[in-house]
Structure 1
Amino acid sequence: MAWGALVLAGLFEMFGVAMINKLHQDRSWQALALLFGGFGASFIFLSYAMETLPMGTAYAVWTGIGASGGAILGMILYGESKDWRRILFIAMVLGAAVGLKLVS
């Protein structure tokens, strides 16, 4: 259950990052509310996951999902570079997160 909460926390982190970009584009109250909602939910799920999982593992996986997911969203939604090296390093970050799951 803690791992599921951690993945949800990472997904909400990705959503929050996407809302930062949306807020820069249109400066609306809706984008601001979604930004706070996304990051708030992310912290709630992270906190729940950390009741069971070690802090270092939980934080590393959470930031890995958020960072790599944010980069992937940038490529898909905002036309950022899809260079093979960038994709390789995103895969390495996700692989490290899976590795932490396997050894925890």
Structure 2
Amino acid sequence: MNWTFLILAGIFEMVGVLMINKLHQDKNIKAFMMMAGGFGLSFIFLSLAMKTLPMGTAYAVWTGIGASGGAILGMIFYGESKNVMRILCIALVLGSAVGLKLVSG
């Protein structure tokens, strides 16, 4: 269950990051509340995951999911660059997160 919590934390981190961009565009209370909710849920799930996972592993996987997911969502929703090197770097970050899961048990 701890890895499920960690993945959920990463997904909600992505929501928070996506809403930061939305807030810069719209500047409305809905975008602000969604941003705060995304980050709040992210921290809650990260905290639950860290009850059993090592801090270093949990933090690295959480930031990897958030950073990679944010970059992917930027490509999908905001027309950010989709060049091969950028996608390769995202794959390396995600691969590292999977590697940490494999060696952490």
Per the TM superposition, whether the score is higher than 0.5 is yes
Aligned structure 1 segments of 4 or more residues deviating by more than 3 angstroms: none
Match of 1:74 in 2: 74
User: 1:49 Cα deviation (Å)?
Assistant: 0.1
Matched residues, number? 104
2:5 is the alignment partner of 1:5: yes
Listed one character per residue, the Cα deviations across residues 72-93 of structure 1 (whole Å, up to 9, x for unaligned) are 0000000000000000000000
- SS of 2:80's equivalent in the other structure is coil
Amino acid in the other structure paired with 2:14: M
Is 2:49 the partner of 1:52?
no
State the Cα RMSD in Å: 0.2
TM-score by structure 2 length?
0.99
Three-state SS of the structure 2 residue aligned to 1:51 is coil
Mind listing any 5+ residue stretches in structure 1 that lack a counterpart? none
1:83 equivalent in structure 2:
83
Letter in 2 for 1:44: I
Residue 39 of structure 1: CA displacement? Answer: 0.1
Structure 2: gaps spanning 5 or more residues: none
State the identity %.
75
Match of 2:96 in 1: 96
- Matched letter for residue 57 of structure 1: T
- The separation in 2 between residues aligned to 1:14 and 1:36, in whole angstroms, is 12
Q: Deviations over 1:10-57 (max 9, x none)?
A: 000000000000000000000000000000000000000000000000
* Separation in structure 2 between the aligned mates of residue 34 and residue 86 of structure 1, nearest angstrom: 28
